[in-house]
A and B are shown apart, each in its own frame.
Chain A
């Protein structure tokens, strides 16, 4: 259960060290002569740079509270996938080289020499952690194994030991502006196709702008949204929403990626990729940035972007041109999450919605790891979903909100060769979905993450065949009554609508959100 090793070509594109083609299944990983020295030196440096790292190496009491909280441990039963043990793999090396007890007592003190076997083990298990932070919620000291995985991956990176499924997108994003390597003319093409589909559906012609200077808002979303189903439906949802609002916004082909696979290689690489967003906002002279539905993207935007590439003093505090709401919680980064933006619109009754158009769907919501445990977006998406759908059901306690389970493929290993691990890791999430399917006939799994849309589709096909996966803005687009639209025969996917034939009155549509607002609020 592993992904193929990173190729020299991709590593060279971003100037990473020790680039070479190598194969994890082969005995010889073609490591540099002094690999131990590089690794330990890297460790020493990071111990002095990250309090989290040093502290988490020192204070674990091995109480085991985190053990059965990791979806990979639950799904594989492999004891080394217990978060505490994943951390111990590195902690044992830390003891051996950086603590007195480890130097003196060696194995007795739980210390291990850094040999090839240990290195390979570190590699294997660093790529069986999706950096989801679920363990950190339960640890009495907040020890975040994701933080340790991040460091281990940085160290492995010094030795050229990354995985291609992460490195390929990093190189593409660096050179071409997005993970999927979509070049500017292709991107424009893709959008034209999406807009054609929207026209077929609604009779409305949308012409989005790219790299337009002087726009009020720069919109950034993960490129997965305009690459493949079902992400594209969500992307079309953005286009329709913005068109209906008459929003003065632009896409960028240079900052065409909201996600950040660099984050799965090293802090420095993540910063290098992330820098494009502020740089582009500055070049285009926009007032603020709006970001699409994505998980790890929002961990980066919330916890890292301003620190790396801020201050964004050339921007203004985000203010919705439709409702006048100032997004105070983004006072410094000047970047707002689209679900905050849309929730605010609905709350102010600015959208005409007909939730009956989603009546063919019984929806549940998957909280993405990063927006949950590194941000805390819980009510906004629920409010939006309840405003646009009549049938919404929660998954059982212990599997939602801050205790949500990873899709199983996060942090850059959605690779085909890695299928067994992904499906095993996806089991806890899939099992909770199965519960609401069996109980309430749920047939649609909503989320606000591009990786989820890809990963959960695969996981559901295996564990819960027939379960659909959707972004929240696809549901919004289904329900959105656009000015001058023709009668909708189908939903965004071209499936027939399951609703009474007569057209809803405009008032009825507009009233819906207000009713829902009360319902949503009671739940807040």
Chain B
């Protein structure tokens, strides 16, 4: 059920746009209004969420330390896993963002007869996660060729590297394959691994189906139905130049692709996909473990009621004197 409804939702989206353009000829709606609106929602939403997080104070200094602290000079500090400087934190964050460092630690805990526990390395999630994200990023970068008149050198290089296998015509992009395989794996593990299935919500399946549908529609366009790329580019450039114009001959499939991407963009800020921004703000990762060296200030620190020494001595003076413990007042 938790997987089925999101599946239906994606099917519904696809049908919606097909009916919309084929039967009702709502080209302008699906080609222009929706993409613009989605982009605006995306930008405004991401800023809104990030500002909301950013404005919430970090009262305490709570890095999770994963290595030796800075201590006596002859003990080697683990400068990245337990950074005490900004430089260390930056490297730690880069490793998290680009290589999913923490996920790389993943272990598989197994209980055997005895009881006996074993811990095996388990890198599949890391591999699939990293493959998915990197191929997604590369695909995004490649798409810039539709949105720039003179395609920047980097974009061209990325594109040619991505197709270096030189298979088929148009040339096969490796990331397309990796992307679909990785997303498919991420979906399969959600239904096949019992604990993961148990924790999954509709909101976990929906983005996966959406991404799969985007990927499939893209692959269909490029390799099988071969849309007219020149018309597509005329159309996308008209969007970029803010003089939107419907170009005939781009085909329904393109509208499907565009609409699904728009949905992803509009959905992004309100969903768990915002982990993209959140990962940078996580106080267990982006703070240096230097709170004994440098005072961390809590902006809402307030005075509290304490039991003072004077009150304590009043309670126990006789007993303290009896035991020979010095007192302030005789």
B-contacting residues of A (Cβ < 8 Å)? 15, 47-52, 54-55, 58-65, 67-69, 74, 79, 82, 84-85, 88, 100-101, 108-110, 133, 136-144, 147, 174-177, 183-185, 187-189, 210-213, 253-254, 267-268, 271-272, 275-276, 279-280, 283, 301-304, 306-308, 310-311, 325, 328-333, 335, 340, 343-344, 347, 372-380, 383, 396-399, 401-403, 427-428, 431-432, 521, 524
Contacts and interface: CB of A to CB of B under 8 A. Distances in A.
Given A67-B196, A398-B119, A279 B306 contact: yes
Interface stretch (B20-28, B72-80, B167-175, B177-185): B72-80
B312 A328 contact: no
Contact of A55 (B75, B119, B271, B278): B278
Interface stretch (B231-239, B244-252, B290-298): B290-298
A188 B325 contact: yes
Contacts of A340: 71-72
14 contacts: A47-B56, A49-B57, A50-B59, A64-B195, A101-B271, A109-B201, A136-B64, A142-B284, A147-B284, A176-B316, A306-B296, A329-B293, A376-B78, A524-B74
Contact of A140 (B96, B203, B308): B96
A133 B284 CA distance: 10
Contacts, number: 309
Question: What 4 A-B pairs have minimum CB-CB distances, sorted nearest first?
Answer: A376-B69, A59-B278, A398-B119, A142-B284
Main secondary structure of the interface of A (DSSP, over half): helix
B86 interface: no
Given A55-B56, A140-B103, A147-B284, 5 more contacts: A52-B58, A54-B52, A60-B275, A185-B316, A524-B74
Nearest to A299: B62
B75 A380 contact: yes
A356 to B, nearest CB: 25
Contacts of A283: 309
A79 B195 contact: yes
Interface in B67-126: 67-72, 74-76, 78, 81-82, 84, 96, 100, 102-103, 105-109, 111, 114-117, 119, 125
B257 interface: no
A330 B300 CA distance: 24
Given A59-B278, A307-B291, A310-B295, A51 B100 contact: no
Contacts of A431: 114-117
B195 A185 contact: no
Given A68-B195, A184-B323, A253-B320, A51 B281 contact: yes
Interface string B266-308: 0000111011001101111100010111111110110011111
B154 interface: no
A434 B44 CA distance: 56
A108 B5 contact: yes
Contacts of B152: none
Given A61-B204, A65-B103, A329-B293, A376 B68 contact: yes
Contacts of A175: 307, 312, 315
B326 interface: yes
B56 A48 contact: yes
B119 A303 contact: no
Given A140-B100, A184-B319, A307-B60, A427 B119 contact: no
A471 B293 CA distance: 27
Given A51-B53, A254-B312, A283-B309, A133 B64 contact: yes
Given A88-B199, A331-B292, A303 B61 contact: yes
A140 B272 CA distance: 13
B306 A272 contact: yes
A51 B199 contact: no
A427 B274 CA distance: 37
B327 to A, nearest CB: 8
A54 B67 contact: no
B105 A59 contact: no
B320 A67 contact: no
A144 B103 contact: no
B309 A254 contact: yes
Nearest to B284: A142
Interface in B176-207: 193, 195-196, 198-204
A265 B69 CA distance: 28
Given A59-B279, A109-B202, A380 B71 contact: yes
B109 A51 contact: no
A432 to B, nearest CB: 8
Contact of A376 (B65, B203, B278, B320): B65
B285 A141 contact: yes
Contacts of B272: 58-62
A63 B197 CA distance: 10
